Amino acid sequence: MTPDHPVTLSTDSRWLRRVLHRVQQFFASLHPRVSAGERAAAAAAAALSAAALALFDRMARRDQRHSLDVLRRVQQVAPGQPDLAAAALLHDAAKTALPGRRLRLWHRVLIVLMEAVRPGWVQQVGREAPGSWRYPFYLHAHHPALGARLAEEAGCSPLTVELIRRHQVKLTHQPVDETERLLAVLQAADDAN
């Protein structure tokens, strides 16, 4: 190395931002807080039924915090959309709202690492066997469909159910209708949080 030819480190800034975002998420998830006021305001904004609010309440505190953060971002972009607000609050419900079947923090860390090493690995490892060590990986891969079913059972609107079902399927085109426009808002808010 000479002064005329300094060594430069090239880094993909998007990759680095993603890593930093994941590290921040990890530390924030260690001690999440949800106030009674936040919960009440969110339930009102989403016009949640008693059953839908009970579903939200069964979620792990870290998932509630994430959902409230997604809701805040959604409301900045598309205020006055109760179906979208409900989807923001319940989009990850299946990860932790099913009794005895939860994605724990260590599962989430492992999933992020697995996806970084080999995309698609989580889906290959996951099995639909609730007692198995492989079930959390299945739950992660299938939480949109499972969450949509939970939301439907809780009396959520067909639009809310559809947004939850599709929240992990990235649009590859410009939204063609109102559902896709709302889906794009939900996905952007979810990705940012």
What's residue 1's pLDDT?
Answer: 46
| Whether the predicted model's global pTM rises above the 0.85 cut | no
Q: Count of CB atoms within 10 A of residue 31's CB?
A: 9
Amino acid at 134: R
SS3 5: strand
Question: For residues 60 and 83, what is the distance between their CA atoms, to the nearest angstrom?
Answer: 22
Per residue in 36-86, pLDDT (tens digit) is: 898 898 888 889 999 999 999 999 898 999 999 999 999 999 999 999 999
| Residue 63: its H or E element | helix 61-77
Q: Where are the domains of the chain?
A: 35-101+143-192
Q: What is the DSSP string of 114-173?
A: HHHHSTTHHHHH--S-TTSTTHHHHHHHHHHHHHHHHHHHTT--HHHHHHHHHTTS--SS
